[in-house]
Amino acid sequence: MVVQLAAPPQTIYALVDTGSDLVWARCKPLNGTGGPVPNLKTSLSYKPICCLSSQCKALGCDAHCSKTRCRFNMATAMDLIWQETFHRTLSR
């Protein structure tokens, strides 16, 4: 789905995980496909999730810490977990 997140708003492609409260966004383009990715360096509302936070602990064994930042680890992906401002859904 296409969503807007961050401040100022950025339009990106995201995947809503209906089994949790997570929204997945690709951090890097994949061989020139997959649409726009978020630019966290320009976001005023970007907030990394700390390892000691309840959000990171709620991920259980799928989470681990890297330089005090919470990372999510799956068989197919591993990346930082962060909190961001979610604006609205633009399309399905």
Q: What is the pTM of this model?
A: 0.62
pLDDT at 85: 77
| pLDDT mean for each 10 residues of the chain (92 residues) | 84 81 75 75 86 81 75 64 68 54
pLDDT at 89: 55
Which residues pair with residue 66 across a beta bridge?
69
What is the domain range of residue 58? 2-91
pLDDT at 22: 76
Into how many domains does the chain fold? 1
pLDDT at 75: 54
Query: Dihedrals φ, ψ of 84, to 5°?
Result: -150, 160
